[in-house]
């Protein structure tokens, strides 16, 4: 009898395991579908070709760099709100030309131009606040090919391998145009391409298209070594690829929203943010088209608002608005 009781207990144990194994497991699956498209036809009175580059979303507004102007759309209804053609402050008016990039942070719009200027506007009134650079490439900037602003810092991508870092507090209504950067960063490779960058979890992340890598710069390290970096710019840690060119990156509430080129094919790839920051390159969404149709052109900018992802498709001259759908799949174990 004393040998039967342990046997009964053992059988009960295995019976419980079998019951658990019969329970289903749910897997979440994400897939994109087309929601809308923005082209020159969506801009009242537009007579020029649509040339989208950098984009940003803030306070339910979509900001699109379009050649020599900045377009503003409602990010929920997609209606066109305004076209900004010039920087105006008091009696000073500067026409906008050769724009590449846009960032919005804490009530300010930052607009980069290859004419070696960074324009700063009030987000609400769109009035000019200040300019950094005077349009001469041998002065403050050697052109501007990308900008991102967060956590009190302004990161400006220049020609070739340079990113200059400023403090937002340096830029005021009375500040000089020829500001000195507090730090410099090295992107390892690069020339005259538009660059995409964003900040998350205390790190600047750059889509290093020419280095075939995502480039990670720890902001605490930038601050600690700021003075030395003015002589020897800080180099990044990398998530290296062999045949992938990261083109754009932005962070939403859940995702690192990226675009990558492999040969002549352009991909929208979404990575869980925490895994991405650990340099884990396993994309949850990996799409070169929408359900087998409408292949993506080169995507030079990404942004997300709720379940909508905005893609700046420069080669196809449009903004594609994609809806991110979520489905659950139950797997029944036998």
Cβ contact 311:268 at 8 Å: yes
pLDDT in tens, 213-267: 999 999 999 999 999 999 999 999 999 999 999 999 999 999 999 999 999 999 9
What is the pLDDT averaged over residues 319-325? 97
Report H helices in the chain. 4-22, 219-224, 226-229, 273-277
pLDDT score, position 95: 97
| Confidence category of residue 23, pLDDT binned at 50, 70, 90 | low
Using alpha carbons, select from 197, 40, 59 the residue that is nearest to residue 122: 59
- Our CA angle for 175, 138, 198, nearest 5°, is 65
Q: Which phi and psi angles does 42 have, rounded to 5°?
A: -90, 5
Residue with tokens 């984009």: 55
Please name the residues in contact with 190: beta carbons below 8 A apart, sequence gap of 6 or more. 157, 159, 160, 161, 208, 209, 210, 211
Residue with tokens 């009242």: 44
pLDDT score, position 182: 98
What is the pLDDT averaged over residues 172-178? 95
CA–CA separation, 234 vs 223, rounded Å?
11
| 275, burial (CB in 10 Å: exposed 0-12, middle 13-18, buried 19+) | middle
Q: State the average pLDDT for the chain.
A: 91
For the four alpha carbons of 273, 237, 162 and 170, in that order, the dihedral sign comes to positive
pLDDT greater than 90 at residue 11: no
Q: What is the pTM of this model?
A: 0.90
User: How many other β-carbons are positioned within 10 Å of the β-carbon of residue 204?
Assistant: 23
- Our CA angle for 116, 122, 124, nearest 5°, is 140
| Confidence category of residue 173, pLDDT binned at 50, 70, 90 | very high
Give, rounded to a whole angstrom, the gap between the first and last alpha carbons of the chain: 34
Cβ contact 122:108 at 8 Å: yes
DSSP symbols for 33-48: EEEEEE-GGGSTT--S
Cβ contact 42:80 at 8 Å: yes
CA–CA separation, 218 vs 165, rounded Å?
13
Cβ contact 188:195 at 8 Å: no
CA–CA separation, 306 vs 287, rounded Å?
19
CA–CA separation, 121 vs 109, rounded Å?
5
Q: Please tell me what DSSP assigns to residue 54.
A: E
pLDDT in tens, 66-84: 999 999 999 999 999 999 9
Tokens of 90: 């008091």
CA–CA separation, 46 vs 42, rounded Å?
9
pLDDT score, position 18: 46
């Amino acid at each position: 009898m004393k040998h039967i009781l342990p046997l009964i207990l053992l059988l009960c144990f295995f019976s419980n395991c079998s019951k658990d194994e019969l329970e289903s497991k749910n897997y979440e699956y994400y897939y994109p579908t087309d929601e809308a498209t923005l082209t020159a036809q969506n801009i009242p009175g537009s007579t020029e070709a649509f040339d989208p580059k950098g984009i940003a979303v803030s306070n339910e507004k979509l900001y699109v760099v379009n050649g020599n102007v900045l377009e503003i759309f409602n990010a929920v209804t997609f209606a066109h709100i305004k076209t900004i053609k010039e920087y105006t402050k008091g009696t000073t008016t500067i026409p906008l030309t050769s724009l590449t990039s846009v960032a919005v942070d804490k009530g300010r719009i930052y607009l980069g131009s290859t004419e070696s200027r960074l324009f700063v506007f009030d987000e609400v009134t769109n009035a000019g606040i200040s300019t950094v650079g005077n349009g001469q490439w041998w002065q403050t900037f050697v052109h501007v090919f990308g900008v991102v602003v967060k956590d009190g810092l302004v990161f400006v991508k220049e020609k070739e391998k340079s990113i200059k870092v400023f403090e937002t507090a340096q830029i005021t209504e009375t500040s000089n145009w020829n500001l000195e950067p507090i730090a410099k960063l090295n992107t390892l490779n690069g020339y005259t391409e538009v660059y995409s960058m964003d900040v998350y979890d205390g790190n600047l992340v750059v889509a290093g298209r020419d280095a075939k890598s995502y480039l990670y710069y720890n902001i605490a390290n930038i601050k600690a070594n700021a003075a030395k970096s003015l002589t020897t710019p800080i180099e990044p840690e990398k998530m290296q690829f062999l045949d992938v060119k990261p083109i754009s990156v932005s962070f939403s509430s859940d995702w690192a929203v990226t675009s990558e080129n492999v040969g002549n094919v352009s991909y929208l790839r979404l990575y869980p943010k925490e895994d991405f920051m650990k340099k884990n390159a396993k994309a949850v969404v990996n799409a070169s088209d929408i359900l087998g149709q409408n292949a993506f052109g080169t995507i030079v900018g990404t942004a997300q608002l709720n379940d909508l992802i905005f893609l700046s498709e420069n080669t196809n001259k449009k903004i594609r608005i994609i809806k991110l759908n979520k489905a659950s799949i139950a797997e029944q174990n036998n």
